Structure 1
Amino acid sequence: MPSQVPNPSSAAVVDQPDVDASIADTQLLWSHLSNASIATVRCDVDGTIEWASPSAFTVLGYTPLDLSGRSIDSLLDDDTRPAVASRLGLDGVGATSLDPICCQVRASDDTRVWCDVDVLAVEHLGEPRFLITLRDASRRVADTRALKSSEERFRTIVNEAPFGVGLQDRDGNFVFLNSRLKRIMGTSANYLLRDELDEHIHPGDLKDATSAHERLGDDESTTRQVRFLRPDGELRWGSVRIIPQADSGSEATNYLWAVEDITARVRAEEDQSRLYTLMEASSDLVIVMNPDLVPLYLNPTARRFLGVDENEVLTPATEPLEFRSRPFGTIGLIGEHMANREIWHGELTLQSASGTWEPFSAMIVPDAQSGRLNRISAVLRDITERKQFEERLEWEATHDHLTDLPNRTLLTQRLASAMERGAQEGTWVAVVFLDLDNFRIINESLGHRVGDNLLKQTAQKLAGLVWSQDMVARFGADEFAIVMEGLETPDSAEALAERIRRAVSGRVGMAEVELLMTFTAGVAVTDGTRGDPASVIRDANAALHEAKLRGRDRTEVFNGNLRAKAVDRLTVETGLRRALRRDELRLFFQPQIALETGRISGAEALIRWQHPEHGLLTPGEFVPIAEQSGLIIPIGSWVVAEACRTLARWAETLPDGEHLTMGINLSGKQLIRPSLIADIESVLEETGVNPANIEMEITESILLDDVDRSIVVLERLKALGLRLSLDDFGTGYSSLTYLRSFPIDVVKIDRSFVDGIGDDPDNAAIVRSVIDLASTLGLQCIAEGVETDSDLAALRSLGCDHAQGFLIAKPLSESDAARLIAYEPAW
């Protein structure tokens, strides 16, 4: 912009046309415009500048000569030109323009000057012209922009403020809400009418909050707590400071709300209040201590336990809890770790006011700030009942309920400890197994109550016969075990065991009956350096088994020979497991004949083991070990399934095969197996055999182990349609007593009574009694072990129904048995 204004005389009039007196007034107008401080230009209807006032230099830096002949468009930018051009298109003389246009005009130095541009249509010398005035608006625009920038900065500051800001007018309407207040209230509205506030403020606070300003003086302020209701249902607390705002006068026209969101603080206070209430009412001990373990707070339960009066003020002189814990200083030791700001969980014992020591489960929490331990909080729960319960559970898990003696679990643990001590001290440890002979007979004949009392008396006697460091345990139904330690020599174990065995044996009065009780003992000795508790127990059990085989009522000590037998048993057991996997088991079938017709009526399935090294093994060589090891369960299941498949094949291929029967032996372990019935039912469904052609053979000794349970299982087998056979009849103890109780169909007379029956009157009388009894009960009889023609003839004369034995046929493979049956021989 130029700094010097040109001489007005040279620019007063650019165009000096000849005029007459009739336009004197118009010349006077131009004279005034020439002297005005507002830049003025006159344009023709095409926008060409004809004249400019001297003040154009002051505003834009142009002289009148600079502007003469230029288009008005040359002074305007593209965005401004259309608006001014539209004004130049106005028609009529003397018409007033529209409101001025505030826009930028190009100055002589090519800068832009903000001007208020006004266009006036006039007549000059009888011709239409436009007067354009340009008033410098730079200061006003700058001030307006500064004000707007200031307002925007203020709005940004207010919106980003860490607290809510709202402006309420005298009618209670909110004419402004900053972003923070919107978030607190959960609204996006920029203003809220007073009638809309009930949706955002709790009903209990609404009236006070919206009318608080009405009770304020113009220079007063107030603070309220207001609960805001958000649309999502959340309730938020705000601390609201209401401040009157006045304009130029002294009377307040608006009220500023400064809202601090105190929801977290209120909730923390509520939580703290609830926590305090809970602590005061808690049955647990709640204790807050300083780093020296001096109590700063004790809830009522803790005060009662520690004997602190409820009105006693806790001071630094109060006794630290370190001296009330056991072992001494337990809490102090815990406190040493508190500086690490780790929560401690564990158990400790505290002394009560009465002097007793009580166990507690504790959670101890450090309160450390800036790396410094300030307080320690502890919650302790009395676990006396839990401890008693755990001790009871532990006792029950390690003791026999009937005799109160340790059980096998505790005995095994004690044996392990004794072996360690023996190895360290160079002494010997012995395990003695004692079996009460014929206990099952007593239990079944005199009742379980008598049997239980006998076991209790035996336990008491044994406990009184051993040293204090020794242990007596009940190891099984009628088995006791003793761990004796500190023996000087291994030979002394047998003498001690025999002395104990003789001491508990003898006559006992029980249920008005005098019983002669004998025991069988097995002993194993170790120096603690070889083997483990399980192997020593296994050796003692092997010795007991050997003593039983040698006639009972004796003591046997485990030795090398028994070890060899044990190894052999283990070898057989391992081989049996392999045999199951490799399909080495076989079924052979011994035919049975109907003595009335002399023809084959069925067969008994008998298992064999096709050993890869030893050839075909008979049941006596592996079945007892299968029974002891539990392998009899999978083996027995295989026998049932394979026998039923064979019978199904015979029913389809052999003459009159649908009437053949199949005898299948069930072991004692199978009989007590819960899945027995379901397994057999599944096999029957798979093979499609007639259940009435299957005879399940069970020895009477197995049934007598638990008569009541046996009856239940037999009845469930009968419900499947199976026939039941009592095997080896006559060899048990109570055959005649229980024969009527069991739901059996067939009695198999043991071979010991059949052998030589044709020449032995006594055996013939026994067999006649059995046959007569079976006939009376509606049962059939099968005689086992028939090997001579005279035996067969005798059985026919006595009225026996069926027979089997080597006279008829030895056990045959399936194919050989099928050929024999197809041949239809007769005896």
Structure 2
Amino acid sequence: MLANRPSRLLWLLAGVAAVAILLSWLFFKADAINARAHQQYERELRLLRQADAELNAAVLANRVGLQTDFDTIVATAAEVLRATHALEQLPDFLPATSLDRLREDIDQLRAVQTEKTRRIELFKRENAVLRNSLAFLPEATNRYIADPQVTLADSRPVGILVRGILTHAHSSNAEFDTALWRQLEALEATLPEMAEARRERLRNLLLHARVIIERKPAVDTLTREILGAPSAALGERVSLHYATAYEHAAATAHNYRLVLYVLALVMAGYVALAMQRLQRASRELARANHDLKERFDTLRRTQEELNLYATVFTNASEGMTITDADARIIAVNPAFTFITGYTLEEVGGQTPAVLGSGRQDEAFYRDMWATLNRDGQWQGEIWNRRRDGEIFPEWLSITAVPNSSGDTPSHYIGIFSDITDRKAAEARIHHLAHHDALTNLPNRTLLQDRLDQAILQSRRRERHAAVLFIDLDRFKPINDTLGHEVGDALLTQVARRCQRAVRETDTVARHGGDEFVVVLPELDNAQDAAVLARKLLAALGEPYRLGEHELTVTASIGIALYPEDGQSASMLLRNADAAMYGAKADGRNAFQFYSAELNTASLGELLLENQLRGALDRDELVLFYQPKVDGRSGQLAGAEALLRWRHPELGLLAPGRFVPAAEESGLIVPIGEWVLRSACRQMRAWLDAGLQPPPVAVNLSAQQLAQQDLVALVHDALSSHRLPAGMLELELTETMLMRDVDHTIEVLARLRAMGVRLAIDDFGSGYSSLAYLKLFEVDVLKIDRSFVNDIRSDGAEGTIAAAVIALAHSLGQQVVAEGVENDYQRDFLARHHCDQFQGYLFGRPEPVADFTRRLHPR
């Protein structure tokens, strides 16, 4: 028997070693997944897909001319290649079978991205050449046409070719392309017969034309190949395969944890069996020594309790800390290490102050220890710091364990849980309750609180506070025309610009719709509010890039000061709102301080609207007529009917004074009908007097186009006054046309069939496209006066006006230039063959009697 003991001992040691090796292997397998590597790899996958999409968008934007350089393409392509290279470093915890498949997918993706990069380089080269020729072609054309030796017959085919090429640059038509080649070759055939100087100009022009016709198909093909590359699909496939591989690895690790758990249960069962054997031995020994039995029973019960406590201590999800009477750590559980990142070796012998974040002051800890010493326990929220430096909130319960005599604690037990997620959810709910969902600015509720605080601070420190009420000018047409998505994007950019303009102590809030409020606490003087208002107007007046649109939107700002303009938040807001409307009344894109007179002015506006309701019945509305002259002969070629209000108290009012009120109240519809019928009645009167009046243009409102049966109204007005339809011209703005394209096309087609002339007013200042311009089939384009104002005496800055003239003529339309006020504007437009001029240079809007004198023969 004694001889067998060494053998049994060896077998026991071997079994223990085998179990230890098995447990170590299972523990390693169960914890094989590296969460940080997984998160990093998923981040690279997202970056690759995002960069690939941005690369396609940059190529397309460069092709259509939204971007003029290749910096974005180069940077994005580099990011794509970097992300693709990063994906080659696969996490080592993935299964081998999945690694092979992922490497194959990544190889394919790298090949596609390399080919795509090669094509992008070709695209950059080809598009640069094409864009260079497109830029120099108009200049070469101008130099050729400016040659005194070039006749109209010589310049006509050149102009037709250039217009065709510029049109071809934005379309895809094989027949048109063939026709351009024939025109180009015909012009090249005339080169030998020309003088040398003229031949060189034409050769340079035709060289650019040939480059454009040759390079455009190649650029379009490269664009389609780049956008059609399967890089996005391959990126999605890599993401899908990686997700599948990760799920498989996670499932495998989970299985190993289950096995580890089962093995632990088996070992626990083995320990329990061993304990039972020990109990039987103890009972046998007890018969020999009763005292020994009692001590052994006590030891056994203590051991069971310790096992239970150890299990609870080890497997609890809450972090646990045990300290001695001096509050020095002697034990921590795994959850403590998981939450804080510290092991027992790192914090053993130290006090829990090693986790201190510094957020609680000494008074907090004094109160905590006082409660703990008085009640024997304490619980509450506390902020601690993890090993990596991150500060986190926890809910902590501390219990004092008394010594054997019960008079002083021998140990302290701390149990805590990480409440980071709960605090984040509470913060998010609080944020949503006090902030605007679109702009993330404070909403009305938080604005009220901030304004109350600003008033209290300013009152306590005897300083000023200011409220700036901001309203965007003409926001509703943008929202109605381009859609709520564009409107929301504009409001988001406005919010960011306002935040960048103010101080950290100021508050920017969204009051509702397109209204924003800025609260300025503790101002030294009122002029500080004016300085910020100017800064805000400048920032908000910068152009906005909204998708494919670039818009310029201004704002009107009203300012109310504490304590001069109000002692409460509601009064300050109300008075700032009134001041804002005063700024709008003064012409918009301005700011105004509140004054008592503004309330009177607002009341005056309301009375003016009420008086406007009876202006038609009292025959107070009149029409003035502004002449249009022929661009070649300078003779009278047309007129525009312009509305005026002879107010009994305020005198003659321009449309800008009362038309906005008419539009808001709905009066614009009957007023617009009156203008149409009055213009037709006046033309009939001129004809009956033996005069020959020119066609008269009448402006239509958006509400007339949307609400009235416009075709029936025009037909009735013409027939009741026995007028030929060609004498009436209807002017519509681009914004009106784009509100309901299908309805607009139908109405315009019926009006054209009737013989009425149609014109687009303020062309170039709205949002229409060339495609819609062709569908609308109007007769006249009116160049917006802002483009005419750009024409200087040296002939510069008239490119947009010249382009509109060329565009209209290529579509078979006439061109009227508005706002012509000096000779060099007229001469520039005449050189570019503008059909008609309108402006103060040729006559201001005139009453009927004065305009009638123009119709008499001289």
TM-score scaled by length of structure 2: 0.37
Q: Whose RCO is larger (CA < 8 A, sep 6+)?
A: 2
The answer to which structure has the higher strand fraction is: 1
TM-score scaled by length of structure 1: 0.38
The answer to which structure has the higher helix fraction is: 2
Which structure would you say has the larger Rg? 1
